[in-house]
């Protein structure tokens, strides 16, 4: 009989940011540091998808990511909103198409803030952000970001903060048009919805309160992100704020929730 292959709890790496917050509960213990991002990482290996939680107390910079080029991965991502203060917004795409020259002038003057399409968000919203999309996350938001395993960011406007800008690189790759806004979840099965699907990742939402048998995909790894709930995952216990790597050769296992559970399941298609 072969060795049982079970889910692996991913480690976390918390990063302080000028726009971060101490308010990271219930996903992570509160600390005196301004935490902006918490990355999930595997010991000794790179995951095929980068998963992180983002917490904001101020607006993030207006930025854009490149697409794949010359064998170098770009950065397509998605956001699933976990918490949103009253009036919280996310900027994604432009209100109307503009020229590259007009965008450059707006980035230099600060008028780019008015050009962005700011949409109100609330918990449960999902926004898919393809590479080349001009975007910014507003203040008072906690979200789960799932993206290509790349961290190339071109910052084109930063509200006067003394940080490096990458205006010319960003202008060279930016999509100068609009964005469709929030994604619409597609039902898959009882308690399961597809939130996003592209060449780089597929992400589903799973909600359940009763025990269930989980059958991994036979040839690719998956990551389960616990947004809410606690219980047993195979022979281990899970809780809110954890992420579990399901190896390609993992055996089927039972999930036995002690409380109602919401998970994100993400994988490379």
SS3 168: helix
SS3 105: helix
H helices present in the chain, as ranges? 100-109, 112-115, 167-173
Question: In sequence order, which residues have a C-beta less than 8 Å from that of residue 158 and are 6 or more positions away?
Answer: 61, 62, 165
Burial status of residue 17 (CB atoms within 10 A of its CB: 0-12, 13-18, 19 or more): middle
For the chain, what percentages of helix, strand and coil (3-state, to nearest 5) are there? 10, 45, 45
Catalytic residue among 155, 161, 219, 265: 155
220 flagged as catalytic: no
H helices present in 51-166, as ranges? 100-109, 112-115
SS3 190: coil
d(CA 253, CA 257): 13
Cα 81 from chain centre:
9
Active-site annotation, residues: 155
């Amino acid at each position: 009989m072969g060795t049982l292959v079970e889910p692996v709890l991913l480690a976390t790496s918390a990063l302080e940011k000028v726009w971060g917050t101490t308010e990271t509960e219930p996903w992570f213990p509160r600390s005196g540091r301004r935490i902006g991002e918490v990355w999930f990482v595997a010991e000794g290996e790179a995951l095929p998808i980068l998963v992180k939680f983002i917490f904001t107390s101020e607006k993030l910079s207006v930025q854009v990511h490149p697409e794949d080029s010359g064998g170098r991965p770009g950065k397509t991502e998605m956001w699933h909103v976990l918490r949103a203060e009253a009036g919280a917004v996310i900027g994604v795409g432009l209100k109307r198409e503009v020229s590259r020259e007009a965008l450059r002038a707006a980035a230099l003057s600060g008028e780019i803030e008015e050009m962005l399409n700011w949409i109100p968000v609330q918990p449960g919203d999902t926004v898919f952000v393809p590479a080349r999309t001009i975007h910014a996350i507003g203040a008072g938001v906690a979200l789960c970001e799932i993206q290509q395993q790349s961290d190339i960011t071109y910052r084109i406007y930063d509200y006067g903060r003394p940080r490096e800008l990458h205006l010319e690189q960003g202008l060279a790759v930016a999509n100068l048009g609009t964005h469709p806004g929030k994604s619409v979840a597609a039902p898959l099965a009882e308690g399961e919805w597809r939130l996003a699907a592209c060449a780089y990742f597929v992400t589903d939402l799973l909600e359940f309160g009763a025990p269930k048998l989980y059958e991994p995909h036979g040839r690719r790894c998956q990551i389960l992100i616990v947004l809410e709930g606690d219980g047993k995952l195979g022979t281990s216990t899970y809780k809110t704020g954890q992420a579990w790597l399901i190896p390609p050769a993992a055996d089927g296992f039972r999930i036995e929730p002690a409380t109602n559970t919401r998970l994100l399941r993400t994988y490379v298609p």
